[in-house]
Amino acid sequence: MKKLKKVLMFIFIPIILACLANVILYIIAFITPKVEIKTANSFSLYDANNELFFSGNSNNEWVDIKDISQNLINATISIEDKNFYRHQGFDYLRILKAMYLNIKNKDIVQGASTITQQYARNLYLNFERTWKRKIDEAWLTIELESHYSKDDILEGYLNTINYGHGVYGIANAARYYFDKDAKDLTVAEASMLAGIPNSPANYSPLIDEYSAKKRQKKVLTMMKNNKYISDAEMKLAYDEKLTYIGKKEKYNLSTLMYYQDAVMNEIKNIKSIPNSFLSTGGLKIYTALDLKAQESLETSMQEQMKDVPEAQVASVMMNPKNGEIIALLGGVDYVKSQYNRAVSSKRQVGSTMKPFLYYAALENGFTSSTNFMSAPTTFTFGSDKTYSPKNFSDKYANKEISLAAAIAYSDNIYAVKTHMFLGEDALIDIAKRVGIDEKLDEIPSLPLGTNEINLIDFVGGYGAFANEGYKIEPHLIKKVLDSEGNVLYESNDTNERVLNKSTVFILNELLSNTYSYDFVDYSTPTLMSVAPRLTHKYAVKSGSTDTDYLTIGYNKDVLLGVWYGYDDNRALDTSESKISKQIWANTVETYLSDKDVKWYDIPENVVGVLVNPINGQIAQETDNKKHICYYIKGTEPSSDKPDKILESVIGQ
């Protein structure tokens, strides 16, 4: 008997203490200031013209619970938290059951978050998994239950939950999917919508209707089990043919959500922004978005990719003066794939790495006329290792060519010779200097773009060429205000000069030859396919690997990078190489169509000389090809001063 008493005391005393602690916590929460939930979870995004283009959970879209379909309420409670009206924020029996099932299956197969807990979680800007964050969420759950009725909490939850495709709140979701008010949703429509928030990327009927219907069936089954509907009503709702609208009232660009996601990703990394909406009362986020640029980019992409349905794209369009990202594509269609390739992926950059090498070369004594032999070459490095790069289509001059020609044709042999001659750290130094932070390998193939680099970071590095030598920080957000109008963050556009202006000018001129008819000779410049489309002057470079095609180009007014490829890294057909080039050309030309575009001014210490562009020597009357190339004064070629580099040290 004594043993039994000890066992009972061992069991019940902790339970009694836990209950007492629970009561004390709720009392403390009750006497603390009330959290204002209707404004706490709102955020609004504004474009470069201070026009609102996205509003998440703002008051003007908030609907009272009495104006929400009872079908939607019943469906949500059934699938998310059937004991919602019976617990005080935590469903302890459900927690124990979930723990048992997860331990038994050695995996997380069931969660136990209540609607109140989910609502508390949604009041934060990010979902970092730290103990402090979990404690904060638990305390907020208690505060919500202490200050608000169940209907108030459910109303807040339904007005702020993510229904996919950048649609927050049931009022917006009802309009987006079915073009109707939230109060008019049928059982079939409500059960479909209630299934989405668990995983919008998987359960949106616009993305995967098969998975969405399976999820709907589960919702309907739970509604039946909870006696909200009968067997007959369940079957009728499941069999009902639903018609989806999938459009917003304005700003219906299919790619705009990629920009918004990139903004929200950036704001999480700004230290001056509290991680909880509770601390700000909501946010007003002013961005660099140029809707004309975004529309130009999306339209061009859709035109060029209509015949390659499985391919993907990523693109970043930037103001090179300050690093503001004015347009962005993270994929072909946000409805079909929410993965933001511009923000999250790293891909091989191919020959678009070469301009950083050639800036280093110009900085170390090379000129536009510097010659190397373009012929099959085997390079020896390290401990008798060898490397034998090839030119595209195995096309070689089999003679000495100038740096200008090497850039126009993207000659791989010339690039590797330059890389080995300068030393493998020279290219890396320039890349770091302009802000490319990716770890780069000191290997012979580096100038051919074998390293994987994030597109935003890489295009940002090109910014130093586009703005005549200044390092920029790519960013989408210009300013953030709280609900009271206080400035929480403002971007700093002060840039640091890291490159020589005259050297950058010469490089930019060389990169403008990639679509010049003056260089049509034994080979063709790499961007000749878009030359007829271009009405302005650009510095532009394309690059390719077996799995990636990339085009990056710019002038003083705009900098644009476009990547094309497949998520599964399948090999690309050579015919696909034109797609990223055409997207690039059509976008910049459309965007600049009504702008006064000017090229860079020639620095005082730079001189232009008419040369044979293939060998870089002073042009003769007998030369078929002639082109003005640029040089630092005193380094220009003359008839008695050929510009050659001793090759014996770098190739055989």
Q: Which residues, 6 or more positions from 66, have their beta carbon under 8 angstroms from its beta carbon?
A: none
Residue reference for tokens 């993907």: 312
Backbone angles phi, psi at 34, to 5 degrees: -75, 135
Token reading at 133: 């964050």
Question: 468 pLDDT exceeds 80?
Answer: yes
Question: 524 pLDDT exceeds 70?
Answer: yes
Give yes or no for a contact between 619 and 611, defined as CB atoms under 8 angstroms apart.
Answer: yes
The verdict on whether 351 is a catalytic residue reads yes
Question: 258 pLDDT exceeds 50?
Answer: yes
Number of H helices, E strands in the chain: 22, 20
Where do the H-state alpha helices sit in 161-246?
Answer: 170-178, 187-194, 200-203, 209-225, 231-239
Question: 606 pLDDT exceeds 90?
Answer: yes
Residue 649: pLDDT band with limits 50, 70, 90: very low
DSSP per position, 283-329 = EEEEE---HHHHHHHHHHHHHHSTT-TT-EEEEEEEETTTTEEEEEE
Tell me the average pLDDT across 501-522.
Answer: 97
Angle, helices 70-80/187-194, rounded to nearest 10 degrees: 40
Q: Distance between CA atoms of 15 and 11, rounded to whole angstroms?
A: 7
Whole-number percent of the chain with pLDDT over 90? 63
Q: Distance between CA atoms of 534 and 515, rounded to whole angstroms?
A: 9
Catalytic pick among 58, 351, 369, 374: 351
Question: 646 pLDDT exceeds 50?
Answer: no
Question: 198 pLDDT exceeds 80?
Answer: yes
Domains of the chain: 2-281 (1.10.3810.10), 295-632 (3.40.710.10)
Token reading at 505: 């000018």
The verdict on whether 211 is a catalytic residue reads no
Backbone angles phi, psi at 295, to 5 degrees: -65, -40
**What 3-state DSSP class applies to 327?**
strand
Which residues does residue 325 pair with via DSSP β-bridges, in sequence order?
A: 318
Catalytic pick among 58, 80, 189, 400: 80
Residues in the chain: 652
DSSP assignment, residue 43? Answer: E
Q: Distance between CA atoms of 581 and 461, rounded to whole angstroms?
A: 19
Question: 44 pLDDT exceeds 60?
Answer: yes
Angle, helices 70-80/209-225, rounded to nearest 10 degrees: 90
Tell me the pLDDT tens digit for each residue of 373-401.
999 988 887 777 888 899 888 899 999 99
Give yes or no for a contact between 544 and 577, defined as CB atoms under 8 angstroms apart.
Answer: yes
Tell me the pLDDT tens digit for each residue of 431-441.
999 999 999 99
Tell me the average pLDDT across 465-482.
Answer: 96
Residue 597 CA to its chain's centroid (Å):
28
pTM reported for the whole predicted model = 0.84
User: 207 or 446: whose pLDDT is higher?
Assistant: 446
